[in-house]
Amino acid sequence: MTHWRMKILTSIILALLLWSIATTVIPSSMGTHSSFNLFSTSANGSQVPLRRIALVAPNASSYIDEFAYFSSIPMSVFYDNGTQYISPLIYSSGSESEEWFLEDWIDYLSVDGGLVQATAIGDFSESYLTELQYDIGAKIYPRITGISSAEIAARIAVSEWRTSGAVVLSPARDSFQAGAIISGNSSHTFLNDATETDTFGGTVTGVTVPTSISFDPPTSAGWLEGSFNWTGNEIITHELVDPAGEIVDYSVYTQVYFSRHPAYVENAVPLHFWLPKTTDGTWTMNLTRDTPGSTTMSCSVFYHPGFTETVPVPANSKWLNVSLNWDNVATDLNLALIDPNGRLVMWAPAGSILANPGRESIQLPYPMEGDWVIIASWMDATNEQNNIGISWRISQLPTNIDHYLESASNAAVLASLLNVPLLYVELNQIPEVTQWALDRLGATDIWLVDSGDLQQTGLVTDLTGLYTLKNLNSYGAITGNITALSGSPDVVVTVPTGDNNEFFGPAAYSAAAHGSPILSLCGDDNQMTTRAQETWAPYLIGPEINNIYVINKYENRAENGWYDERIPNKYSMMKSVNDFENFLASRGAYNTTVAQPCVIVAPMSLLPSSFDRSLQSAFNPGRIPAEDPSTASILISRGLLHRYLFLIADSAGTALTSMYAYTDGAQFVDNSLHYSVLYQIENSTDALESVGFEIESHVGATETFNGLNSQVAFWSLSTHGTLTVLPRDPPDRPYGQGYISMRSTDSPYGFEESLVVRESPADSDKLVNPVSFSAESSNHILRSTDELDASIGNIGSPIVILTACLLGGTDMPLVLMQHGAVAVTASPRTVYFQPAGMLAVLVTQSLCEGNTIGDALSAGLSLTSSDYAYPLVGRDPRDYANQQILFGDPSIRLYEPSTSLHVQALDPSSEVFGNHVPGRGVSSIAALGASSYLPDALAPLTVDFDYYESSNFTDFISLLPLRYTVIVEPETLSLFFEEDFASHSSEIISYIHEGGVLAILGIAGPLGWAPWPITFGNTTDIEPISYTEESHPLLTIPNLVNTTSDYYGCFDSVWSNFTVLAVAGSSPVIVAGTYGSGKVVLTTTSPNGTARDDFVENVVNWGSAPSVRLRTISLSQYIIWAGDRVVVTIRLSDLEGNPIESANLRLWLNETELSVIEDENGFYSVTVNETWTANNVGLFDIVLYVSKSGHDTLSLTYERYLLVRPFPWIVIGILGGGVAAVVGGWVYLKHKRGDSFSYQKDDSRDSRSKKQEKEEEKKRKEEDGKFDAKEFFGV
């Protein structure tokens, strides 16, 4: 926050910081807004979490992952009988944010029995999923993959639904051709084109009615710079109107008052304007006096010469990048882009030749279609020659990509609301795999979602011939059906990227939870995105380099200078919100009766945050500021699940306040002319304590960050903030480093004199500003976003209010969200003490009253600052600088654990939601055979199974990845299925590797298709069967299996990683093992009767039995010489990461068994001593055998794992002799020359010089890093 200390009366200072003498002050609380939140009070009535998670693999080379994500949404958010059921759906990339989120989700579910379903969708590596299984404590299965998004969607559909009469369809494409690139350039020479000055006068008369003074710039002008001055004490404000009738510049009463009053400035500051000449014609200054009378004006307008280039921009453009360079050194040129409507959209308004000497550039995303004008203007030009060059590059999005993404997104929302599957079609036909899924589901009613009406006749003909078709081929039809089903006014918007990394997937997941339509803000012509970019242009105005600290506040064209009230430009902001209303109305998504929650999913680089602020309070916007889809999915999931995750925080019942610089006892008048007295600390803490929160208060940097790490529910920070340590031109936003003022040692709050006298009577300005007082200024320190990032870990799920300058234009909000924060409010520009403090208090109070953060912020802004949707009539708002943005979902609420109790998460594997049976659409067991052998054994078990014979093996393969267990009847493999298994061996092996269980009974011949080295041998000797692993779960759970059984032969040899469970004589007849994440058992036995039933039931249960797995194995050293001591460390766990303790672990190096010592938490160690390595040189296999009752036995061989090298005496001798010879020769030569025999270089001078240079460099850095806090923060 900013406060200027000037030589004036303290009451006048207070008025300066208020920005208005009689405009605004604080009510003790504010009225609540109507809340439309699907998380608590929406049409669905309630929400229940499910004990599951879906993980989608990001794929940066195609759009398969995007459409796979869409088709996963109805399994993750769906509605049944008025209740919304929800579970996380994330792009899994292994980030720390994901790790913390999963940790919290698993922790929450642990109360209800833990995670029971984890599904992987897309192509993950086995190692990645293995580690992820350890982290989440659950098996990730099934793993749904496919060669197309249509195939993945079909498998998801049949996995989740047994039948579904209704199905939602959408067009999909797995790849798009890159958009076209258009480039061009032009040049121009300025010569004898000096800046012209037009001086004229005029008279302003009357009061409240403006007087117009017009001027006509020459056609050669590129930039206009005006100064309108007068000598009286009256206050005059202005509006500059361009030839098209648009107001493009203005001033406000309070700003003019302080820039003219002699108490604040030595010389009265004229009215200024400074902007590109967007069009030729007559420009008009409308000037308005505050009192009756007449004022003579002295007017000057500088016409800086310019060059314009018209560039046609086609539809569907993503970037318009323009560069300007010139060759006359020490000159300053500005660059601007004017849209086809004649509006300034973006500029590069350098205030100094130091900012970017000789070059300017603009990167504008999503420019609207039409003829754009590039303006290059030489500021303060002379008659010298200046050669300039302009180049531009336009990139386009892939054709119709926005329609494909919008269609699939809204189809996912519709399917979620209907609780039906989402499948994909091509524009002219139904893909074979989609038809297969439709047939299996028994579909009769089709909802076709096609926002761009891209469908072709062939597709419609096919659909109408087979089904009842509801064709939603317009925005109105799509949004109308969604809002009718949900009753929600919410809306979600995002933008396409066209680079295989779209935000539409996570945005659609958010939309499904909100019951809202999702729209591309690009629309049909990029009109809305262009308006959004226009709102950001003023934010590129930075401080003057030659007056870097902006102490002379009103005299400079800078933020906090005379340009201050144009950041942002209120007319651009009003245009933005009005156009957004029209945009939604044209798509049937505008609700005129309520403030619509609006989730905006886009990085700041593509959509500026000033757009969000323009929408309040007609809308309650909330930004998901992630820079990639994976992060977006985490931030959105955490926000949607906040009602549950907040309970996991270690300090969920605690609120943290960090009031370093704040308002303390000032009177405040708000926009409704309500008066109150603002005590920022007490007003905040009283509200929080009233709803049960304990309060912690810290302003010490270390203690504050530790408080965040303790996982509080709420953090309110009030302090100074800035983008960078030193101001830059242009300023580093929206991605500034971000710095905050804190105390070097802890205190519960900032103070000017002491904890008792926190507001010094020396100034009595009702503001606590420690850096203004030398004693306290010495305790002042800065902490950056990077330091914050390094100091905190998982901070839980707090709501954060940042009351400080500029932090909304830094990385700090995103960093806080990546660490767990679900909502952060911050302003991208300078804010002022009292309005900003008042807003923070109002938001806190509103949250404590049960309102959403979106409602709270919009209501607070409407009382304390500009409301661009519903501007005040006839007077200025209380403040224009409160430009706080909400980062996070606007439906977030503040919960207190004693009143918001644990909500039980349901087990989806045992629940039925209409036709939706999560994860059980396909029977978990497939039985292959040629008789009733397996059906007779499975039927009494009341398990779902499908029976296949060789005639329908193709259908078996199509559903194989969704099965949990496959059992093959004795002797049928060689008689009926050998050829089928051989031709589909890759699918079968993948099935096992990914987590499936394969049991082949009664093998009577070779397994030529199998990847494991195992051979079968016929035998004529009939010997009794005996078990070698009597505690193995296949033989014991739930039945103790009888050893009496027929068998067809024995295994002559088996893979070393198989465990032999049973032998006939000494030959194996039952072997089993783990393979990847799955299991396989092979038998030559053919049990019958009770023995069959018991063994088949054990096979069915085997999939859930824990397996001993080697999680890690390592050596204390990997270069081992004979005579070295080596420690082998082994870590054992099951598939879910639970440590295996008290196991029977045996280890051999080749044939030598070594002693094993158990440590703890599944760690074991084996010491290979010096004697052993001295006597055993060469390569050695490590053989492991691990058994534990109730667990699958682990038999594992690592071939050629350990190498013991003979000690290299000969090599050492040769090298030693060579070194001795070199040294001897060197000594001889030194002696022969008579040189000194010192072995140390005489570099004392160099070392002293280097040391001195380092000290000087360190001193310079220290000096560069020092600054006067009072000067830096303009106080």
* Model confidence pLDDT, tens digit, residues 899-940: 999 999 999 999 999 999 999 999 999 999 999 999 999 999
Question: How large is the average pLDDT for residues 723-735?
Answer: 84
Both structure tokens of 914: 């209409």
Helical H runs in 114-221?
126-136, 149-160
Q: Is 307 exposed, middle or buried (0-12, 13-18, 19+ CB in 10 A)?
A: buried
Given this model, what pLDDT does residue 1227 score? Answer: 60
- State the average pLDDT over residues 103-107: 98
Q: Beta partners for 656?
A: 696, 715
| Residues 142, 160: Cα–Cα separation, whole Å | 11
Per-residue pLDDT averaged across 675-697, rounded?
A: 97
Q: Which CATH class is domain 925-1074+1081-1089?
A: alpha beta
Instruction: Look up residue 750 and give its two tokens.
Output: 């900032």
Task: Place 25 in a pLDDT band, splitting at 50, 70 and 90.
Answer: very low
Summarised one tens digit per residue, pLDDT across range 1053-1074 is 999 999 999 999 999 999 999 9
Read off the pTM: 0.91
Q: What is the mean pLDDT of the chain?
A: 91
- Alpha-carbon distance of 611 to 366, in angstroms, equals 14
pLDDT band at 559 (very low <50, low <70, confident <90, very high): confident
Beta bridge partners of 1052: none
Under 8 Å CB-to-CB from 1062, ≥6 apart: which residues?
1025, 1026, 1027, 1028, 1035, 1043, 1068, 1069, 1070, 1083, 1085
Question: Per-residue pLDDT averaged across 354-375, rounded?
Answer: 90
Q: Could you identify the residue written with the tokens 């309520």?
A: 594
Alpha helices in 223-321 (DSSP H): 253-260
Which are the contacts of 266, defined by CB distance < 8 A and separation ≥ 6? none
CA 211 – CA 967 distance, rounded (Å): 91
Give the C-alpha separation, 843 to 853, whole Å.
7
Q: Report the distance separating Cα 378 and Cα 468, nearest Å.
A: 66
Calculate the alpha carbon distances from 94 to 65, 131, 483, 677 in Å. 16, 10, 36, 49
| Res 181 pLDDT > 50 | yes
Give the 3-state DSSP-derived string for 1210-1266, with helices as H, strands as E and coil as C.
Answer: HHHHHHHHHHHHHHHHHHHHHHHHCCCCCCCCCCHHHHHHHHHHHHHHHHHHHHHHC
For residue 30, the model assigns a pLDDT of 32
Rounded to whole angstroms, what are the CA distances from 349 to 283, 359, 542, 559? 21, 12, 9, 13
Question: Whose structure tokens read 């020459």?
Answer: 218
State what percent of residues in the chain have pLDDT above 90. Answer: 83
Reported as a single tens digit per residue, the pLDDT across 822-850 is 999 999 999 999 999 999 999 999 999 99
Alpha-carbon dihedral 637, 639, 642, 645, rounded to 10 degrees: 50
Distance CA 1079, CA 997 (A): 5
Per-residue burial over 388-415, b = 16 or more CB atoms within 10 Å of its CB, e = otherwise: bebbbebbbbbebbbbbbbbbbbbbbbb
pLDDT of 1229: 62
Q: Tell me what pLDDT residue 263 has.
A: 84
Q: What is the mean pLDDT of residues 627-642?
A: 98
Q: How many Å apart are CA 739 and CA 725, to the nearest integer?
A: 7
Instruction: List 1085's β-bridge partners, or say none.
Output: 1047
CA distances from 241 to 273, 283, 876 (A): 11, 6, 19
What's the pLDDT band for 26 if we cut at 50, 70, 90?
Answer: very low
> What is the CATH architecture of 1109-1205?
Sandwich (2.60)
Residue 128 CA to residue 142 CA, distance in Å, equals 15
For tokens 């913390």, the residue is 100
110 Cβ contact list (under 8 Å, min separation 6)? none
- Cis preceding linkage at 730, omega within 30: yes
- Tell me the two tokens of residue 1270: 């009072």
Six token digits for residue 290: 């505050």
Q: What is the pLDDT of residue 52?
A: 98
In CATH, the number for domain 594-744+791-888 is 3.40.50.1460
User: How far separated are the first and last CA of the chain, in Å rounded?
Assistant: 10
Query: What local confidence, expressed as pLDDT, does residue 1262 receive?
Result: 46
Residue 405 identity (one-letter amino acid): L
Average pLDDT over residues 439-445: 98
Cβ-count burial 602-613 (b if 16+ within 10 Å, e if not): bbbebbbbbbbb
Query: Tokens 């009230």 label which residue?
Result: 565
How is residue 1191 written in tokens?
A: 């667990």
Model confidence at 578, pLDDT cuts 50, 70, 90, reads very high
What tokens appear for 721 in the block?
Answer: 């903030």
Angle at 443 between CA 438 and CA 446, to 5 degrees: 95
Q: Which two tokens stand for residue 440?
A: 């299996």
Domain 182-396+531-571, CATH number (from 1.25.40.10, 3.30.360.10, 2.60.120.380, 3.40.50.970):
2.60.120.380
DSSP letter at 977 equals: I
Q: Which residues pair with 310 in a beta bridge?
A: 373
Q: How would residue 1275 be classed by pLDDT, with cut points 50, 70 and 90?
A: very low
Count Cβ atoms below 10 Å from residue 529 Cβ, excluding itself. 26
DSSP summary character for residue 973: I
Q: Angle, to 10 degrees, between the axis of helix 833-848 and the axis of helix 10-18?
A: 60
| Contact by Cβ (8 Å): 451, 406 | yes
Cβ–Cβ contacts within 10 Å for residue 910, how many?
10
Q: Return the SS3 of 1027.
A: strand
- In one-letter notation, the amino acid at residue 681 is I
| Residues 1206 and 1179 sit within 8 Å (Cβ to Cβ) | no
Torsion of CA 1130, 1135, 1140, 1144, to 10 degrees: -80
**pLDDT digit string, tens, across residues 769-827:** 999 999 999 999 999 999 999 999 999 999 999 999 999 999 999 999 999 999 999 99
Residues 759, 766: Cα–Cα separation, whole Å: 7
At 286, the pLDDT band (50, 70, 90 cuts) reads: very high
